[in-house]
Amino acid sequence: MTPTPTVGIVGAGQLARMMIEAATPLDIPIRLLAASPNDAAARISPNVDIGSPKSSEDLIAFGKHCDIVTFDHELVDLKSIRELEQTGQHVYPSANALLHAQDKLHQRTVFTSAGFPIPDFLPVKSTEEIIAFAETHGWPVVVKAQRDGYDGRGVWILENRSDADSLIANATTNNVSLLVEQFIPIDRELAGLIARRPSGEFELYPIVETVQRNGICHEVIAPAAIPESISKRAIDLTIAVAEQADVVGNMALELFLVGDELLINEIATRPHNSGHFSIEGCHTSQFENHLRAILDWPLGSASLRSGAVVMANLLGRGENRLEDGVPAALKATSPGIHPHLYGKTSRLGRKIGHVTATGDDLEETRTRATVAAETLMTATANTIGAPS
């Protein structure tokens, strides 16, 4: 009998942690490349290499300990990933697919040639180029760092020339490459999630609505309350983009809905925050299907287990300690409430956990998710008493 291949995960944040949780029942061996033993996933795994995802040496050494390499995030040294591929290592998603997620300019250039609907954009280096773009498209405009952005860091809305001047000055000092794009008057943000095997066989999750504030995802609502025709177009786009990028594993497609027009914002070639609801909400979670896809195993059904599922992110407020709020949150809102704590220290705005509520009625389910999230996020050692 051949043993189950060892899956190496580059990065050890909450996504790797939830991949480990999905790997356990299937007894899939996991190894991590973590920056520190305190990383969210390293805290629950005995098989950890400590190293940097940006170091060629560390990545190549890590590859030797694994049969398949996958990722918790895309902030990795792509040249070494290509080297790993050249040694015959299975890397999923491939370096080519990963480049889409790593480089917003590359992604937009490829999507334009493929004819996918995206906001107009332009790489820019100077205030004058931003002004010229704004004169054509109108203010405000959105400027983005081409690489290394997440949770809205690396996204700026500019209202005028003086905003552009200070951003360009800052970017020049910090050596950040930029692109500018049209500001879209978004009605709703949606996400398509797909798990795809090397053969191209795939499993699709229901289209969800993501609720963002200040560039950070606060809530995910499944299924999105949108007309069937829009859902169908979002699904078709998700499949087409996954095929175009030749993603193996999970992919999330972030979409803007404006009137009845759909525009692509960006893709992630891995499990994604918009799919956390699937752990309790679907027959097979995005984490399990990601592992099944990269192992080239049969995929599981991604359909919903209940009529409504709502996920709320738990964000750091500086002083809060989620762990102190767990008993109260469970008592106040159970049943059908599932808190996930990532074991991360609280910092303002940092994603340190999430909570999922399942139910039949969307509004009632959403209220339960919100109440549970608020109870958890406001907890400190002093505010929550012992459970009764």
Ligand X SMILES: Nc1ncnc2c1ncn2[C@@H]1O[C@H](COP(=O)(O)OP(=O)(O)OP(=O)(O)O)[C@@H](O)[C@H]1O
**Which residues, 235 to 264, sit near Mg ion by CB under 5 A?**
254
**Which residues, 228 to 257, sit near ligand X by CB under 6 A?**
254
Q: Give Cβ neighbours of residue 192 (< 8 Å, ≥ 6 apart).
A: 204, 205, 207, 234, 235, 237, 238, 252, 253, 255
> Does 151 sit near ligand X (CB under 6 A)?
yes
> Does 280 sit near ligand X (CB under 6 A)?
no
Is 211 exposed, middle or buried, given 0-12, 13-18 or 19+ CB atoms closer than 10 A?
middle
> Does 212 sit near ligand X (CB under 6 A)?
yes
Q: Give Cβ neighbours of residue 335 (< 8 Å, ≥ 6 apart).
A: none
> Does 142 sit near ligand X (CB under 6 A)?
yes
Of 78 and 184, CB closest to ligand X: 184
Q: Which two tokens stand for residue 149?
A: 């952005």
Q: Which of 37, 57, 35, 53 is nearest to 45 (CA)?
A: 37
* Cis status, amide bond into 198, omega within 30 of 0: no
Sign of CA dihedral 179, 208, 261, 271: positive
Size (the chain), residues:
388
> Does 139 sit near ligand X (CB under 6 A)?
no
Q: Name which position in 155, 176, 330, 332 contacts ligand X (CB under 6 A).
A: 155
> Does 29 sit near ligand X (CB under 6 A)?
no
Minimal distance in Å, beta carbon 95 to ligand X? 19
Of 135 and 228, CB closest to ligand X: 135
Q: Name which position in 8, 11, 53, 119 contacts ligand X (CB under 6 A).
A: 119
Of 33 and 143, CB closest to Mg ion: 143
Minimal distance in Å, beta carbon 268 to ligand X? 7
The listed partner (ligand X, Mg ion, none) that binds 212, CB under 5 to 8 Å by sort, is: ligand X
Minimal distance in Å, beta carbon 150 to Mg ion? 8
3-class DSSP state for residue 216? strand
How far apart (Å, rounded) are the C-alpha atoms in residues 10 and 2? 24
Block residue for tokens 């609801």: 277
Minimal distance in Å, beta carbon 330 to ligand X? 28
> Does 177 sit near ligand X (CB under 6 A)?
no
Minimal distance in Å, beta carbon 72 to ligand X? 13
Minimal distance in Å, beta carbon 343 to ligand X? 20
Minimal distance in Å, beta carbon 87 to Mg ion? 32
Q: Would you list the DSSP string of 144-201? A: EESBS-BTTBTEEEE-SHHHHHHHHHHHHHHT--EEEEEPP--SEEEEEEEEE-TTS-
Instruction: Report the interface residues with ligand X, using CB under 6 A.
Output: 119, 142, 144, 149-155, 181-184, 186, 189, 212, 215, 254, 265-266
Instruction: Report the interface residues with Mg ion, using CB under 5 A.
Output: 254
